[in-house]
Chains A and B, each alone.
Chain A
Amino acid sequence: MDGLSYALTALTTPTIVLSAAGGVLWGILGGALPGLSPSIAMALVLPFTFDMSPLAAIIMLTSVYIGAEYGGSIPAILIRTPGTNAAAATVIDGYTLHQQGRGGEALGLSLVAGTIAGLVGLICLVFLTKPLAMVALYFTPPAYFALAFLGLSIIAALSEGSLIKGLIMGVIGLMLAMVGTDPLSGAPRFTFGEPDLLGGIDYIFVMLGVFAVAELMNKVATPDDGAGGVIKNTVTRMRLPGLRKMWELRRAQTIGTGLGIIEGPIPGAGGTVAAFLSYNEAKRWSKTPEKFGHGSEEGVVAPEAANNAVTSSALIPTLSFGIPGSNSMAILLGGLLIHGIQPGPMLLSNRPDLVYGLFGGLFMANIFMLILGMLVLTPCIWLVNRPKPYLTACIMMVVLSGIYSINQSLFDFWIVLVAGVVGYVMRRLEFPVLPLILGIVLGYMIESSYRRSLLLTNGDHIVFLQNPLSLGLLCCAALIIGLAAYAEVRKARKPQDMHG
C-alpha cells in the first residue's frame, strides 16, 4: 500500500505532472526529427533537470524516452523516414497505408497500440522486475549470437518475394557493419585511411539515405500529376481506432507487446530488434499475411506495440543492476547518478518513494503520450499534405540538418547521399531495403558475440548448442528460415503445376 501512496503522491504533484507532460512533448518532437535519436533528445534535456527534484528529473528523462520512441513513427508513416531506429519496421506498412490515403488511420493505430503497449509494459515493470532481470543475466555471448541470428532470419520474411535478393541485401548490410575498428583486436577494417570511418558507419545514416533521400529522389523524378504531389483521397485528420478495431488487431498487439517486454531488458537488443521480430511474428500468425507489405494494419500495430513496450521493460536492468542496455538508458543512468541515486538491487528497499513515484510518473507519461499525440498528429498530417515542391525542400532540409546534428561531420552527408543513390537504384531493381538495415543493425552484435563465444571455448562451436537459451533461439531461427524456403519453393512450383 505504501507503494501505491508513493505513486499517487507523484500523480498529484504539479511539478511532476508538468515534467511528464513536458518530457513527452519534447520526446515526440525529438523522435519525429530524423537524426535526433531518443538518447540525443534525452541528453539535450539533461542539463535542465539539474535543479529539479530527483523524482521530477527522472520522470522527465523517462518521459522524453517514451515520447521519442513513439515520435519516430510519425515521419516513418508520413514521409517514409523513420525518426528513430526502432521505427524502421513501421515504414513498411505505415507508409503504404499513407499512400493509400489512410495515413490518419495508421497514425491513430500506432498511437493507440503504443499507449496500450506502454501501459502493459509498465504493469510488467511493476510486477516482473525481478524475474525479467534474471532473464537478462542468462544472456551470455552464445545467446547474444543466437538472438542476433534470429533477428537476421527475419530477412526471409522481409524479402518481398525474392529470397535471394533479400539475402544479398542482408549480406551487404553485414558487410557495411564490418567497416571501422574490429571489436576485438582494434584493427581498422575497410577504412581506406579515412578517420571518419574508424567508428564505423552509423546505421541511422544508411536509414536516412535508403528511406528518406531515395524517396525524395523518387518524388522529384515522378512527373507532377496536377495535384501538386498531394496524395489523393487522403484524410486530413488523425483517426483513432475504435474498440472493435483494436479487438480485431489484438493478436498483433499481443505479439508486439509481449516481444517488446521480453526484448527490453536484454542489453543491446532494444526496440529495433523487437519491432522487426514482432512484424515477422505478427505476419506469421495473421489471418491475412498477404496484406503485409501492402498496407496491413497489423503491420503497423505489431512493431509500434513492440518499440513502446520496450520503453518500460528497458528500465528493468538499469534500475535493478545499474546496467544500461542502450544509449538512452545510459543517459538515464547518468541522470540518476547526478542526483545521487545509486541504482542496484537495493534501490527498491532504499528508495521506495523514488521507484514507486517513477512508476506513477511512467503511467502519466503514457497517458500524456496519447493526449499530446492526438494534438500533434493532425498538424503533422496537414504539413505533409502541402504541395510537393515545398514538402520535398522541407524534408530534404530536415534530413540534412539532422545528419549534421549527430556528429557535426560533413563526411556523414556523403554517406547519406551515397546511401540515397543505392536505395534509389535498389528500389528500381526491386531489391528489398529492409534486410540491408537489419544487417547493419545486427552486424556488430552478431560478429562480436560469435567471436567472444569462440574465445571462451578455444574455437569450439559446440558452445552454441550447449547453452539452452542459444539452442532454443537457433532452433527458432532455423524454423523461420526453413518455413520461408519452403514457401519460396512452393511459390516457384505453383505456376509449373498450373501449366502441368
Chain B
Amino acid sequence: MRATFIVSCLLFLLAVAYWLGADQISVSRLAGGVGADGMPKLLAVALGVLSLALATQTFFQMRAGKLAAPADPVKEGDEPTNWHQHARAMGLIVLGGFYILLLPHLGYMLSSMLMLGGVSFYAGLKPSLRMLVFAVIGGVVYYLIFTRILGIPLPSGFWPRLF
C-alpha cells in the first residue's frame, strides 16, 4: 500500500517532467491547430490527475486500514516477498547488460554460450560438464538458426580478424 502511494507520487513527478519536456518541442505551422506538443501536454495533465487520484485513494485506504485484493494471476506461493528476491530478479537484467556489452566484441556465438551458461547457473543449475555441454550446443544451435537459416547479420566480434 505504501509502495503504491510512493509510486503514485513518482508518477506525478513524471507527469510534471513530461509536461516540461513537451514544452521544449518545437511547434511548426505545418502541424495544424493541435501542434506536436498538444497531445503530449494533454497526456501529462491526464497522468498528473490520475496519479493524484491514485495517491488520494491509497492514502484514504491506508488510513482506513483496508487491504487491496491481489489481482495478479501468478500463484501466491510464487510471489517474491522480500528484497533479496527482488535483487535476484535484477541480477538477470545485469546479466542482460553484460551480454549487450560483450556481444559486439565476442561475437554472437560465444556471447550466446556465455549467456546460456550464465543464466542457467544464475537460475539454479550447478556448474557441471552437463551445463557446459548445454551452453556450447545451445550457442551453436542459436547461431545456426538465427545466422545461417534466418540469415540475420548478428555481430561476429573479433573472429573475422583471426581467420
Q: Residues on A close to B: CB < 8 A?
A: 36, 44, 92, 95-96, 99, 160-162, 164-165, 167-168, 171-172, 174-175, 178, 182, 184-190, 213, 216-225, 229, 293-295, 387-390, 392-394, 396-397, 400-401, 404-405, 408, 410, 413-414, 417, 420-421, 424-425, 427-430, 432, 447, 450-451, 454-455, 458-459
Q: Is the CB of A218 within 8 A of B7?
A: no
Contacts of B26 in A (CB 8 A): 187
Encoded as 1 (CB less than 8 Å from any A CB) or 0, chain B from 111 to 144 comes to 0100111111111110000000010001000100
Q: Does B62 contact A (CB under 8 A)?
A: no
A400 to B91, CA, bound (A): 16
A429: chain B residues within 8 A (beta carbon): 3-4, 7
- Residues of B near any A CB (own CB < 8 A): 3-4, 7, 11, 18, 21-22, 25-28, 30-40, 43-44, 46-47, 50-51, 53-54, 57, 68-75, 77-80, 85-86, 88-93, 96-97, 99-100, 103-104, 108, 112, 115-125, 134, 138, 142, 145-146, 150-154
Bound state CA distance, A187 and B122, in angstroms? 44
CB distance from A82 to the nearest CB of B (A): 15
Nearest-neighbour CB distance to chain B for A213, whole angstroms, equals 8
A401 to B148 CA separation, bound complex (whole angstroms): 13
List 9 A-B residue pairs with CB atoms under 8 Å apart, sorted by A's residue number: A92-B73, A99-B75, A167-B50, A178-B39, A185-B36, A186-B30, A387-B125, A401-B146, A408-B153
Give A429 to B79 CA distance when docked, in angstroms: 11
Q: A295, A397, A413: which has the most chain B beta carbons within 10 Å?
A: A397
Contact present for B36 and A187 (CB under 8 Å):
yes
Q: Which residues of B contact A168 (CB under 8 A)?
A: 11, 47, 50-51, 54
Evaluate contact between B89 and A424: CB separation under 8 angstroms: yes
**What is the minimal beta-carbon distance from B121 to any residue of chain A, in angstroms?**
8
- Docked Cα-Cα span, A262 to B82, in Å, equals 48
On chain A, the residues within 8 Å of B80 by CB distance are 218, 221-222, 428
- The answer on a CB contact under 8 Å between A185 and B30 is yes
Q: A99-B73, A221-B80, A430-B68 are in contact. Are A401 and B142 (CB under 8 A)?
A: yes
8 smallest CB-CB distances across A and B, nearest first, come from: A459-B33, A389-B125, A217-B89, A185-B28, A182-B36, A221-B89, A185-B31, A389-B123
Contacts of B36 in A (CB 8 A): 182, 184-185, 187, 189
Neighbouring B residues of A165 by C-beta, 8 Å: 54
- A47 nearest CB neighbor, chain B only: B151
Quick check: A400 and B39 within 8 Å, CB to CB?
Answer: no
Evaluate contact between A175 and B40: CB separation under 8 angstroms: yes
Main secondary structure of the interface of A (DSSP, over half): helix
B11 to chain A, nearest CB (A): 6
List the B side residues contacting A178 at CB < 8 Å: 39-40, 43
How far apart sit A222 and B76, CA to CA, in the bound complex (Å)? Answer: 11
Complex-state Cα separation, A218 to B71, whole angstroms: 16
Residues of chain B within 8 A (CB-CB) of A387 are 125
In the complex, what residues of B have CB within 8 A of residue A185's CB? Answer: 27-28, 30-31, 35-36
Known contacts A161-B71, A400-B115; is-contact A182 B43 (Cβ 8 Å): no
State whether A392 touches B32 (Cβ < 8 A).
no
Given contacts A171-B43, A220-B88, A429-B4, is CB(A400)–CB(B53) below 8 Å?
A: no
A397–B123 touching, CB < 8 Å: no
Asked if B88 contacts A221 (CB within 8 A), the reply is yes
Across the interface, do A404 and B152 meet the contact criterion of CB distance under 8 Å? yes
Name 19 extra pairs, CB < 8 A, besides A92-B73, A393-B118.
Answer: A44-B150, A175-B18, A178-B39, A185-B28, A217-B92, A218-B78, A220-B122, A221-B86, A222-B80, A223-B85, A229-B124, A392-B119, A397-B112, A404-B154, A405-B146, A405-B154, A425-B7, A430-B70, A432-B71
A410 touches B104 (CB 8 A): yes
User: A175 with B73: in contact, given A184-B30, A220-B123, A405-B146 (CB under 8 Å)?
Assistant: no
